[in-house]
């Protein structure tokens, strides 16, 4: 098993070093749960400012987002369509950056310590299949750099994390 190694200093350089390693980690494995589990582990161990990172996948039967593999404290298992930041991102099919969760109407607290958040939708071909949610214990942790690289990562690996 190869190790994930990121030694760069800036956030941008860290993403630049990390993303190809994640892609190659997933290359030989078709199982989506195994792949999602390793993606969140690789992200969490690389970025100190991530307090929680995990997948929420859309369940057509219940019309809800359901918790998938994650790293961090236990979290809400189901999020209704359009609810919270995750539901809003899924509904709007757009990345949402929340610098201060208290300012986001309807934000769902899974961990009372969360201060800021980014939610990135996942598209397989042109269908949205879920979101990646990242939380931080600091205000204003996420910016256009996180958005750019997380969107890039999810576009690259969507075929490896969808059933
Ligand atoms: N804060 C999210 C819910 C998920 S947890 O933070 C892990 C939201 O408002 O959608």
Task: Report the pLDDT value the prediction gives residue 9, as an integer from 0 to 100.
Answer: 85
Q: 156 near 19, Cβ under 8 Å? A: yes
Task: Report the pLDDT value the prediction gives residue 163, as an integer from 0 to 100.
Answer: 63
pLDDT digits (tens, 9 = 90+) for 81-98: 999 999 999 999 999 999
Phi, psi of 38 (to 5 degrees): -70, -30
**Residue 53 beta carbon below 6 angstroms from any ligand 1 atom:** no
DSSP codes, the chain: -PPP----SSHHHHHHHHHHHHHHHHHT---HHHHHHHHHHHHHHH-TT-SEEEEEEEETTTTEEEEEEEESS---SEEETT-HHHHHHHHHTS-EEES-GGGSTT---SSTT--EEEEEEEEETTEEEEEEEEEESSTT---HHHHHHHHHHHHHHHHHH--
**Residue 128 beta carbon below 6 angstroms from any ligand 1 atom:** no
CATH of domain 8-161: 3.30.450.40
What radius of gyration do the chain's Cα atoms show? Answer: 15
Task: Report the pLDDT value the prediction gives residue 131, as an integer from 0 to 100.
Answer: 98
User: How close is the Cα of 85 to the center of ligand 1, in Å?
Assistant: 6
The residue extents of the domains of the chain are: 8-161
**What's the rounded Cα separation, in Å, for the pair 39 and 138?**
22
Mean pLDDT of the chain: 95
Residue having the nearest C-alpha atom to atom 3 of ligand 1? 108
User: How close is the Cα of 71 to the center of ligand 1, in Å?
Assistant: 13
The parts of the chain modelled with pLDDT lower than 70 are 1-2, 163
**Residue 11 beta carbon below 6 angstroms from any ligand 1 atom:** no
């Amino acid at each position: 098993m190869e190790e994930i190694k990121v030694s760069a200093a800036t956030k941008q350089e860290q993403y630049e070093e990390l993303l190809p390693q994640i892609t190659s980690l997933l290359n030989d494995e078709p199982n989506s749960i195994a792949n999602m589990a390793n993606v969140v582990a690789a992200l969490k161990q690389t970025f100190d400012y991530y307090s929680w990172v995990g997948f929420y996948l859309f369940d057509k039967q219940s019309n809800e987002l359901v918790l998938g593999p994650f790293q961090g404290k236990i979290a809400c298992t189901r999020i209704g369509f359009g609810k919270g930041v995750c539901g809003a991102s899924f509904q709007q099919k757009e990345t949402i950056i929340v610098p201060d969760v208290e300012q986001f109407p309807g934000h769902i607290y899974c961990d009372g310590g969360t201060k800021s958040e980014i939610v990135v939708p996942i598209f397989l071909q042109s269908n949205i299949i879920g979101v990646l949610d990242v939380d931080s214990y600091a205000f204003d942790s996420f910016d256009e750099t996180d958005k750019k690289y997380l969107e890039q990562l999810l576009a690259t690996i969507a075929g490896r994390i969808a059933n």
